[in-house]
Amino acid sequence: VAVSPNITEGLRCVALSHANNEDPTTAVKYLINIAKHPQEGKYRVLKKQNSRFMNEVWLNPGIRGMFQAIGFREYDKGLVELAAVSDETLCALLQLLQEL
């Protein structure tokens, strides 16, 4: 089930990310892959056991909040997933990428 993106919250989280000096490099790579391949699930499912994802994305409050604002959700299986990518989600994702 797709979650409608909250662009206002996403922009607030981008500002928080900047204020915290969080490095968005890895997050940008993930989001670009999703934008290029919106229907391929392998780009929308991220494993929390991946130390790079955890340290450079999920443990940074601003970047994590931005991912959640786009529609990423955390699941018990140790996964963070963006269930579906609508046109609205892609537009929000691309707008947030420009702000990073």
Q: For 49, which DSSP code?
A: T
pLDDT at 94 (0 to 100): 82
Rg (CA), the chain: 12
Residue 60 near residue 13, CB atoms below 8 Å: no
Assign domain 7-98 one CATH number from 2.40.50.70, 3.40.800.20, 1.20.58.2190, 1.10.287.70.
1.20.58.2190
pLDDT at 86 (0 to 100): 80
pLDDT at 2 (0 to 100): 60
Q: What is the pLDDT along the chain (100 residues), one digit of tens a residue?
A: 566 788 889 889 999 999 999 999 999 999 999 988 988 999 999 999 999 999 999 999 999 999 999 889 998 789 999 877 787 888 888 888 888 7
Helices of type H across the chain? 7-19, 25-36, 51-53, 61-70, 87-99
Residue in 75, 66, 95, 70 with CA at minimum distance from that of residue 85? 70
pLDDT at 93 (0 to 100): 80
pLDDT at 35 (0 to 100): 87
CA–CA dist 4, 20 (Å, integer) = 26
Sequence ranges of the domains in the chain:
7-98
